[in-house]
């Protein structure tokens, strides 16, 4: 589909990049280096191994960072304790008192909370712009704009930002452009090929894929960003643990296979919902009815596994249907092998004021689906029985 192609050898890289057999035992899996400190050969050879203290670097975490760098075709990565810790590190690297940041107006609720309710207290100016409109972003740039952060597809409305177009605007203005690539991952969306400077992940989601960890990562396309981001990683200490890194390493090895299956399921579920009499509106980038379908097809090599819909009878009917689901799980996460249903207004985006949610299309009746690996027929049958309840 479309013009975008997966990078050569992606599946090989997701299995092998960043890892090697343990030199002492031959273990095929990277060991969990659950150690606080690392013995130094001598005072003169301090840091010869590259590791001194796990806050400043850990071999297991480094293996994951190297894998993510390879998958994104970047120059380096930094892993963090959560996706929000990664975004905080991004902000701390580029923002300070008197600076200005432009953020996609539709973004994860945690991004809104951190920028609007925390960073503004320290003199950072924040503009939430319609990043799907290039002119809106260009008009929002000020002399003190230090960063542009876009999330595409956006959570939860799936609004698409033209990464190449925004990257061109950012480059011309000398401003770094960071893209939250959590929903599509580098398997479906290569943001550096489209001109972005940084890629952000909640590794909790598709990269882990098994609801087993909480983690985040910043991947860099430019050498000049390595040192300042690693300085923040070390200085703030919001590091990923070795166990989380080890589990994420295993999850990432099956990323492409999981995403292909989940996306196939999502297309079938979306088509079912589009034809269901109880459904007023369904949004999925793979549907021809999706307003930005052409851009979604051109910019990425897959449509992902996120869907949202609204029912004819409104929010109360939606809550009733969600409570009746049996195969789908009501939970506040996405990207896992299990299919999950979420009510953003009361869960993921509760920090966003009601009037702002309404303006952005995050209505009280919006139901977000993260489609998993189950049998398509079972997922559809479960939705059908829940939607058919009086």
Catalytic machinery residues: 55, 108, 180, 205
Element (H, E) at 140: helix 134-140
Distance CA 86, CA 204 (A): 12
Q: Are strands 329-330 and 340-342 parallel, antiparallel or unpaired?
A: parallel
- Side by side, the strands of the sheet bearing 306-311 are 279-283, 306-311, 367-370, 340-342, 329-330
Distance CA 123, CA 6 (A): 41
| Residue closest to 201 by CA, chosen among 340, 369, 306, 86 | 86
Distance CA 201, CA 182 (A): 5
Does residue 309 contact residue 273 with C-beta atoms inside 8 Å?
A: yes
Helix (H, G, I), strand (E, B) or coil at 279: strand
Helices (H) and strands (E) in the chain, counts: 14, 12
Place of tokens 């940084």: 198
């Amino acid at each position: 589909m479309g013009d975008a192609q997966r990078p050569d050898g992606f599946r090989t890289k997701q299995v092998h990049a960043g890892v090697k057999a343990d030199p002492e035992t031959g273990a095929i899996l990277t060991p969990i280096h659950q150690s606080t400190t690392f013995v130094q050969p001598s005072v003169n050879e301090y840091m010869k191994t590259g590791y001194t203290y796990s806050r400043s670097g850990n071999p297991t975490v480094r293996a994951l960072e190297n894998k993510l760098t390879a998958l994104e075709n970047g120059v380096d990565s930094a892993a963090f304790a959560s996706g929000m810790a990664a975004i905080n590190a991004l902000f701390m690297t580029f923002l300070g008192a008197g600076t200005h940041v432009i953020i996609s107006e539709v973004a994860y609720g945690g991004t809104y909370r951190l920028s609007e309710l925390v960073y503004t207290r320290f003199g950072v100016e924040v503009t939430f712009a319609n990043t799907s409109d290039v002119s809106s972003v260009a008009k929002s740039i000020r002399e003190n704009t230090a960063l542009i952060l876009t999330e595409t597809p956006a959570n939860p409305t799936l609004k698409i930002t033209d990464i190449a177009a925004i990257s061109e605007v950012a480059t011309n203005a000398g401003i770094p452009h960071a893209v939250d690539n959590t929903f599509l991952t580098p398997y479906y969306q290569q943001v550096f090929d489209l001109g972005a400077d940084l890629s952000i992940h909640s590794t909790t989601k598709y990269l882990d894929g098994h609801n087993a960890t909480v983690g985040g990562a910043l991947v860099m396309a430019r050498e000049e960003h390595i040192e300042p981001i690693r300085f923040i990683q070390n200085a703030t200490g919001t590091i990923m643990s070795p166990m989380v890194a080890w589990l994420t390493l295993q999850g990432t090895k099956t990323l492409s296979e999981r995403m292909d299956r989940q996306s196939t399921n999502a297309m079938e579920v979306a088509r079912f919902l589009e034809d269901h009499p109880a459904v007023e509106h369904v949004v999925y980038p793979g549907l021809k009815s999706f307003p930005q379908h052409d851009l979604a097809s051109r910019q990425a090599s897959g449509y992902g596994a996120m869907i949202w819909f609204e029912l004819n009878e409104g929010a109360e009917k939606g809550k009733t249907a969600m409570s009746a689901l049996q195969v789908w799980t009501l939970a506040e996460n996405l990207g896992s092998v299990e299919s999950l249903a979420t009510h953003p207004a009361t869960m993921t985006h509760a920090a966003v004021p009601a009037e702002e949610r309404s303006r952005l299309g995050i209505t009280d009746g919006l139901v977000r689906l993260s489609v998993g690996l189950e049998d398509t027929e079972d997922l559809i049958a479960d939705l059908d029985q829940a939607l058919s309840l009086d």
